[in-house]
Structure 1
């Protein structure tokens, strides 16, 4: 290489530079610059003195003007004193004109000073660049000869920061050949150093020399080869991953009795942990020598090897678990189930035909399928964790790059760039999502998740069908045994929590939707079919069958009804559990999607179960309670309520019918309390209260009363309320409100009390004005004219 002669460069001497240097270089205002320039220019000094004199004159004129205004306000005779003010104003105008001209001259001087300062700064910078160019030219040659590649790279890096084009344009004719020689030397040195760094890095990788690998990796950014350095390091780390996976595969194949699913999950976990460890180790190195924001480039290169190794692991898992044949059988089973549902509708017949078709073909072993599903969930969850790790690290690295790059910006500048930064963040997020969504490991695991959803649906359908079949053969004597509801929701809880453990929001939503469909077809369909047979009344079945068969049918009906009610409670518990599982660790969009699917499943199954329970209770009420209520309240129609005081006292000592009625109501309620679950018993007790009110109102409407008879009726209604309150967990007063208000009206002493009672804001009337008039008409001691008059009063109060 030819040495460069820098003596021909004609640089300004220090004395010449000093002459161009002025004190006003750092001035921040026109006044300061003018004051600094006045020390060197006598004309400027005289002009500034004149400005000071003009300012003093202006201040004096202001005081004179203020005095003139005050005098003018005091007396009209002092107007002659304004003549001097006018003269002073004219003088002030002339001074202002002179001041303006003087300011223009000062500004011109300041502009000249700024131009001189810029030229001096440019000259100094050119001197520094030439000195750096000389140092780089000499230093890079010596460093290459000494094989000190870090120093050589530092010289090349400094040379690359110089503006070669500007230096060529500003060079003199005598400087041109020397500059060209320097640039030629640096260009050749740059090419030589790049070639050396590439070769030495590859040689270090072959030797597995980590120190040399890090050494030459640090040199790439000095040569503006950031991407090349990241690709080199990514290739090296990918090779390390490949070796680790190969060693693990050989160790697993040589181990006796190694389970295929456990091997795949362990291998995938080790692969992802190795990537995470590489990031932890090398991210500080990348940030230090390449700067923040380059981690994504490294992971892009490394992901190629991760995709290849993950695909190899998954393919081996599919082979060991015979996943393709299992998926094919699950699809065939789903088709059979759909055909049976379309042909026979949901219910026991469709389930029976489906079971027969399943027995004729090849079936999946539920125990083995359960293990496969758990392994698929583990594979998915670990992949989701890995993808979240990559996303989190890349976003944090970009955020660090933004904070480092924008740390010196002012508040106004940062505020003006908010929308632009948001768009940059959105573009980065979209770029990251596209990269992670299109990588091979994501596509591979997504296929496994789709197959998992199909197999999970098959598992739920088969297990629920088996639970229903086993429960139909149980002949226990306890109707409160809700084994079917417990078994069914244990299966649903297990499957849905396993779906949540996959870490995939799409898989969880699909499992929730399919769980609702399977439970509707298998569980609710079976309960609806059993309750559809009705509750046996007794006498019809006794005529055509044995007493044991009637009792067995009643037990089956009550068991199915209890199971439906237990399913409602289990559904509420399942929703609370899944809400806790799905909302922890999920993003906002995923959380909203999961909660929406969970609410849809809860609403669909909850409404179906509520309809079954209501229909079952209504059937039980119609067949069992209503005839009993008629018999219990039958004595009411035979008891007179137009009585004397002696008869009232006799009724109090020996009740004619209500004590016996309360006894029978208690026996009826206690009998069902032993056969029904507490929530279901409360519902049935409410139906019993409603039947008592309806029947009692019909009987009361056919009777006549006097005031004492109304008091007796009120006593009887209170006895019925006390009987029900002893067994109910709800307010009996609300259920018997109409009956209590009827008894109160019949016990009024006079019609004048009616207006006060009706206007009472504390009482919420359940009777309409028409019904009140009808009740009062049952009193034999009230005149019809009085009833009509008070009826009009009620209508006016109602309006």
Structure 2
């Protein structure tokens, strides 16, 4: 009833003055009322005048709407609202507002990226990123809060779509651009190979335009690889308006249900993004800050969604609007994942550059490791594996990880430690357990005896403890799960003991090895017969 009364007052406010005067004066005939209102008896749709321009009327039959609301006919009441001129005026105003908001948003985001500053030297552990990361999301926050104050779910959906588009075009390209521009970390290594040096010099000699083109192409490829199909939200059946509602028409704002703007997937859009990136000044910080920017923007996108979700859903009047808002909020999660992927790609490049040239001594020591150990050698402590483990830990500490921990945010540091741990596990597994294919020849896997299995178990525990101590919050012990199970199998007294820890007897342990890999591992023990291993029923 209150809503119907509000509609009645709004309709009266939109009536021409002559109609209001007539309504307040003497009673009129229906023809007189039609002539004064200019609606020819149909108050629900304005009629055009001689020039073809619709004449503004009340736009809604307030009496019918009030009667429908009082009688409980919600469908008819909603139909009255949807057909009203008031509704069309609100949609038109919303469309203009969204266009202005989107323009304001993009220009201010580009201004923030243009004024990007390096973090001050005396920053806390959680502030090792440039000024653009904070400034960009401050703009997003202000725009989203202003859209909330419009009290329209459809307008909120349109603004959220504009935010997602700026995130996945302007910001994502900028993040990739800074990562590519500052990627000269491998050049700092004093032992870089000639081939790597050639590649690095060519990257450093690249012009800003070529770096910008590479960044725009990387961003477009990342968006194209994102799951989901590109769709335009805002069809004629979804949002109000004759041309697709707030997002429709030639000047509308289209956005994707999978954060895959159609503009980014085209070659011309990549060229536009490249030209835009070349306008930014050179970075005033290094590779570590660029990686931190990628992660922190991904984190901010999730925080933005969490901060808007409750208020945005509170604007919804029905299930259709709740679905639209939820879908629009989901785009922020997808955009966050794209930004995080850029950070992961940068960390992968950093890890490859570090291990390619700084762990050669430890890899040479790994090639000399023997795990068939005599009792005399074991008693004397003649341990080639101990040499490898100590050398690897020393090089990791002094040549790979030195100086990086203070520069990276906590999540990037833990991700780097995990990548290095995975690299070490892969090399150790290849060198000791799995046969390696080199050209037309295959190097056989190493053999173990009982004492060698003890040494291998000790080496795995030492490396696992080292990387676990380096990580700040996340755990890396799961990275060594396969090696730990391999060490467990090699330390069995007989193949039959496997039944005590396999299948129903495994307890809480989840086996990472297949039955085939279990048999191959047991076959590495020189004391185990092939017949006993083949007879195992796994």
1:715 corresponding residue in structure 2: 458
1:579 corresponding residue in structure 2: 309
Q: Secondary structure at the match of 1:672?
A: coil
Pair 1:781 & 2:527 matched: yes
1:613-660: CA deviation from partner (whole Å, max 9, x where unpaired)? 222222222222354455434323323322233433443999434234
1:525 corresponding residue in structure 2: 173
In the TM superposition, residue 467 of structure 1 has moved relative to its aligned partner by 1.5
Equivalent residue in structure 2 for 1:632, among 362, 373, 395: 362
Q: Is the 8 A contact 1:629 1:695 kept in 2?
A: no
1:687 and 1:463 map into 2 onto residues whose CA distance is 37
Q: Is the 8 A contact 1:480 1:562 kept in 2?
A: yes
In the TM superposition, residue 694 of structure 1 has moved relative to its aligned partner by 0.5
Equivalent residue in structure 1 for 2:78, among 430, 440, 445: 430
Q: Secondary structure at the match of 2:286?
A: helix
2:500 corresponding residue in structure 1: 756
Q: Is the 8 A contact 2:160 2:328 kept in 1?
A: yes
1:769 and 1:427 map into 2 onto residues whose CA distance is 64
Q: Secondary structure at the match of 2:128?
A: coil
1:701-755: CA deviation from partner (whole Å, max 9, x where unpaired)? 3433211011011111111111111122333332101111222222233333234
1:225 corresponding residue in structure 2: none
Q: Is the 8 A contact 1:505 1:594 kept in 2?
A: yes
1:780 and 1:748 map into 2 onto residues whose CA distance is 12
1:565 corresponding residue in structure 2: 295
Equivalent residue in structure 1 for 2:415, among 683, 689, 703: 683
Pair 1:661 & 2:392 matched: yes
* Mapping for residues 25-40 of structure 1, pairs under 5 Å: none
1:750 and 1:554 map into 2 onto residues whose CA distance is 62
Equivalent residue in structure 2 for 1:463, among 96, 108, 119: 108
TM-score, normalised via structure 2 length: 0.63
Q: Is the 8 A contact 1:773 1:787 kept in 2?
A: no
Cα pair distance change 1:606/1:397, threshold 3 Å: closer
2:383 and 2:6 map into 1 onto residues whose CA distance is 98
2:6 and 2:151 map into 1 onto residues whose CA distance is 26
In the TM superposition, residue 697 of structure 1 has moved relative to its aligned partner by 0.9
2:26 corresponding residue in structure 1: none
Which structure has the bigger radius of gyration? 1
In the TM superposition, residue 462 of structure 1 has moved relative to its aligned partner by 0.8
1:739 corresponding residue in structure 2: 483
In the TM superposition, residue 520 of structure 1 has moved relative to its aligned partner by 1.6
1:49 corresponding residue in structure 2: none
Q: Is the 8 A contact 2:522 2:533 kept in 1?
A: no
- Specify every segment of 5 or more residues in structure 2 that has no aligned partner in the other structure, as ranges: 18-58, 207-281, 434-444
1:525 and 1:706 map into 2 onto residues whose CA distance is 55
* Mapping for residues 78-89 of structure 1, pairs under 5 Å: none
* Mapping for residues 423-502 of structure 1, pairs under 5 Å: 425-426=73-74, 428-430=76-78, 432-434=80-82, 438-440=84-86, 442-471=87-116, 474=118, 480-502=128-150
2:513 corresponding residue in structure 1: 767
* Mapping for residues 232-243 of structure 1, pairs under 5 Å: none
Aligned length: 389
In the TM superposition, residue 774 of structure 1 has moved relative to its aligned partner by 2.9
Q: Secondary structure at the match of 2:470?
A: coil
2:318 corresponding residue in structure 1: 588
Q: Is the 8 A contact 2:523 2:533 kept in 1?
A: no
Q: Secondary structure at the match of 2:372?
A: coil
Q: Is the 8 A contact 1:307 1:439 kept in 2?
A: no
2:37 corresponding residue in structure 1: none
2:450 and 2:10 map into 1 onto residues whose CA distance is 96
2:462 and 2:9 map into 1 onto residues whose CA distance is 85
1:183 corresponding residue in structure 2: none
TM-score, normalised via structure 1 length: 0.44
Q: Is the 8 A contact 2:457 2:488 kept in 1?
A: yes
In the TM superposition, residue 566 of structure 1 has moved relative to its aligned partner by 0.4
Equivalent residue in structure 1 for 2:347, among 617, 632, 651: 617
2:175 and 2:283 map into 1 onto residues whose CA distance is 14
1:139-159: CA deviation from partner (whole Å, max 9, x where unpaired)? xxxxxxxxxxxxxxxxxxxxx
RMSD: 3.8
Q: Is the 8 A contact 2:371 2:453 kept in 1?
A: yes
1:528 and 1:790 map into 2 onto residues whose CA distance is 52
2:285 and 2:373 map into 1 onto residues whose CA distance is 47
In the TM superposition, residue 549 of structure 1 has moved relative to its aligned partner by 11
Cα pair distance change 1:468/1:294, threshold 3 Å: closer
In the TM superposition, residue 565 of structure 1 has moved relative to its aligned partner by 0.6
* Mapping for residues 167-566 of structure 1, pairs under 5 Å: 300=8, 303-306=11-14, 394=66, 398=70, 425-426=73-74, 428-430=76-78, 432-434=80-82, 438-440=84-86, 442-471=87-116, 474=118, 480-532=128-180, 534-538=183-187, 539=192, 556-566=286-296
1:482 and 1:670 map into 2 onto residues whose CA distance is 22
In the TM superposition, residue 497 of structure 1 has moved relative to its aligned partner by 1.4
Higher RCO (Cα < 8 Å, 6 or more apart): 2
